[in-house]
C-alpha cells in the first residue's frame, strides 16, 4: 500500500517531529510511505481568506503531486478536511478536473481516522505514561467525523489515562488568520480552552491539529504554565523522541 504523507505546512515548519511520527505510525501499519518533495500547502489559508484563485492553484498543485498514490494521509483534520470536504467545491465548474479531485478527496484521510479505520491498527509503538486530555479540532470533528478514532488509538497505550475536559469540542480560537486579525477574541477562546484543559489536571493536552496546538500552547505558556505538555496525537502514539528528552 503506497501512502503519500501530506506533511502540512505547520509540521514542516514548526514541528517536524509530528511528520516523522506520522511516518513511523504508517510504517508500523505496513504502509510504504512516500513524501512528495514539492508539496507546500493545501491552500486553506487562501481559501478561507477569500482568495479563491490561489486556493485553486494550490489545489491543482496538490492534485498533481498526490493523485498517483493509493492513499493520502495528513496529520491534520484541517488540511485533510480542506482536501476532502472543500476541494471539490473549488472545481464545480471544471468537470474534467472535478472528477480527478473527487477521486483524490476520496483517498485522502486524516491520520488517526486512517490508522483506526483503514489500517485498523491493533497496537501502537508509543509508550507514553501519564494523564492526557484531548482537544477535538473543529475541521477534523465536524468535517471528517474524527472523534472516536484518536481516543481508540490512545486507549491502546497501557500507561495512558484519558481524562475528558469540559467543552472538548469547542473551538480553541485559532481559526487560521482569525488568530491574527481578531487577536483579543482568539486569545480569549484559547484561554477558555486552557482553563478547561488544565482543570483536568492532565500531564498533556493532546490534539490532532498543529494550528490548535500552537494556539493552546502559546496561551498556556503566557498564562505561566511551563509544565503541561502540548502534544500532537501522532507524537504520543509513535513514541516520539522529543517526549523522552
Partner 1 sequence: MELRSNEFKTRAAANLGDEKLQRGLGLIKVKAVVNRANAVAEFGDFETLREVGKAIRDRALADLDLYLERFEREAVARGAVVHWAENASEACRIVVDIARENGVRTVAKAKSMVSEEVGLNDALIEAGIEPIETDLGEYILQINDAEPPSHIVMPVIHKTAEDVADLFHAKHGTPRKTDPAALTREAREILRPKFLSADMGVSGANFLIAETGSTLIVTNEGNGRLCTTLPRLHVAITGIEKVVATLEDASTLLRLLPRSATGQAITNYVSLHTGPKRLEESDGPQQFHIVLVDNGRSKLLAGEMREMLRCIRCGACMNHCPVYQAVGGHAYGWVYPGPMGNILTPSYVGLENAIALPNAATMCNQCGVVCPVKIPLPDLMRKLREEQMERGLKPWPERLGLALWGWAAQQPALYALGTRIAVRFMKWLGGREKLIHRLPLASGWSDGRDFPAPEGQTFRELYKERRQ
* Nearest to partner 1 of 9, 157 (CB atom): 9
Q: Kind and range of the H or E element at 223?
A: none
Cα–Cα separations (whole angstroms), residue 154 to 128, 129, 132, 172: 9, 11, 9, 21
Residue 224's contacts (CB-CB under 8 Å, 6 or more residues apart) are none
In 3-state terms, what secondary structure has residue 161?
Answer: strand
Shortest approach of partner 1 to residue 190 CB, angstroms? 6
Give CA–CA dist 188/196, Å, rounded.
Answer: 13
Nearer to partner 1, 157 or 173 (CB): 173
Query: What is the smallest separation between the CB atom of 120 and partner 1, expressed in angstroms?
Result: 27
Distance (Å, rounded) from C-alpha 89 to C-alpha 230? 34
Minimum distance of partner 1 from residue 106's CB (angstroms)? 20
Nearer to partner 1, 148 or 155 (CB): 148
State the nearest-atom distance from the C-beta of 138 to partner 1, in Å: 4
What one-character-per-residue DSSP string does 225-237 give? --SSEEEEHHHHH
Binding residues for partner 1, rule: CB under 8 A, are: 7, 9, 11-17, 19-20, 35, 37-41, 43, 45-52, 54, 57-58, 61, 89, 138-139, 142-143, 169-171, 173-192, 214-215, 217-219, 221-222, 230
Cell numbers given for 183: 487577536
CB of 148 to partner 1, least distance (A): 17
Amino acid at each position: 500500500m503506497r501512502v503519500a504523507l501530506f506533511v502540512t505546512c505547520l509540521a514542516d515548519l514548526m514541528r517536524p517531529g509530528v511528520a516523522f511520527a506520522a511516518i513511523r505510525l504508517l510504517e508500523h501499519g505496513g504502509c510504504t510511505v512516500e513524501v512528495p518533495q514539492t508539496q507546500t500547502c493545501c491552500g486553506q489559508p487562501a481559501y478561507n481568506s477569500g482568495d479563491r484563485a490561489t486556493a485553486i492553484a494550490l489545489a491543482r498543485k496538490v492534485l498533481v503531486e498526490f493523485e498517483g498514490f493509493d492513499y493520502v494521509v495528513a496529520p491534520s483534520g484541517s488540511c485533510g478536511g480542506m482536501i476532502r470536504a472543500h476541494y471539490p467545491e473549488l472545481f464545480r465548474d471544471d468537470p474534467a478536473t472535478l472528477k480527478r479531485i473527487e477521486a483524490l478527496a476520496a483517498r485522502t484521510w486524516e491520520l488517526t481516522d486512517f490508522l483506526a479505520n483503514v489500517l485498523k491498527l491493533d497496537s501502537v509503538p508509543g509508550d507514553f505514561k501519564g494523564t492526557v486530555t484531548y482537544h477535538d479540532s473543529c475541521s477534523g470533528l465536524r468535517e471528517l467525523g474524527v472523534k472516536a478514532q484518536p481516543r481508540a488509538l490512545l486507549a491502546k497505550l497501557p500507561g495512558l489515562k484519558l481524562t475528558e475536559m469540559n467543552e472538548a469540542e469547542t473551538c480553541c480560537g485559532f481559526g487560521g488568520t482569525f488568530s491574527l486579525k481578531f487577536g483579543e477574541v482568539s486569545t480569549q477562546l484559547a484561554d477558555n480552552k486552557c482553563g478547561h484543559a488544565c482543570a483536568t489536571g492532565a500531564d498533556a493536552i493532546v490534539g490532532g491539529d498543529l494550528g490548535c496546538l500552537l494556539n493552546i500552547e502559546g496561551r498556556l505558556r503566557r498564562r505561566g504554565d511551563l509544565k503541561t505538555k502540548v502534544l500532537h496525537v501522532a507524537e504520543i502514539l509513535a513514541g516520539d523522541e522529543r517526549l523522552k528528552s
